[in-house]
Amino acid sequence: MSMCKTTVAPSADGSLNLTSTFLRKNQCETRAMQLQPTERPGRYNYHSPHWGSIHSMSVVETNYDEYAVLYTQGIQGPHQDFRMASLYSRTKTLKDKLKEDFAAFCKSQGFTEDSIVFLPEPADKCINEPE
């Protein structure tokens, strides 16, 4: 596992297109999802084609210029709860304070210390190519 490159772009219908590119089996792979806004600002739903379920994604915190913290929850498979906290940054290097605050948020959501991971930067073209 290593960092991926993710872009978020608004759609004409008010949804957001979230596209991630990452290295998998020595190939750049891209996955896209369309986030549908809910009645609550900063909260989106998306359909997981793999699991056939709806996941809820919330923007927990952002300063728009530097980072965003997202929290996702849903069901994967028969009766398997899915929860994930993600830290998206506009740079590959994170400030220590940001990492500490993110880890504290994760712990407040019940994640254990060993489940909080900061992915290394890959030495591959998938995220290092200019747009």
| Per annotation, catalytic residue among 4, 28, 106, 126 | 4
Per-residue model confidence (pLDDT) at position 5: 87
- Segment 15-35, tens digit of pLDDT: 999 999 888 888 888 999 999
Catalytic-residue membership of 4: yes
Confidence category of residue 99, pLDDT binned at 50, 70, 90: very high
Question: Do 90 and 67 contact (CB within 8 A), yes or no?
Answer: yes
Q: How many CB atoms are closer than 10 A to CB 57?
A: 23
Cβ neighbourhood burial of 124 (10 Å; 0-12, 13-18, 19+): middle
Per-residue model confidence (pLDDT) at position 2: 74
Using CA atoms, how far apart are residues 55 and 86, in angstroms rounded to an integer? 14
Per-residue model confidence (pLDDT) at position 107: 97
Region 105-118: mean pLDDT is 96
Per-residue model confidence (pLDDT) at position 41: 92
110 Rama sector, left if φ>0, alpha if ψ -120 to 50, beta otherwise: left
Where exactly are the structural domains of the chain? Answer: 5-128
Residue 130 has pLDDT above 60, yes or no: no
Per-residue model confidence (pLDDT) at position 128: 64
CATH number assigned to the domain covering 5-128: 2.40.128.20
Using CA atoms, how far apart are residues 56 and 72, in angstroms rounded to an integer? 6
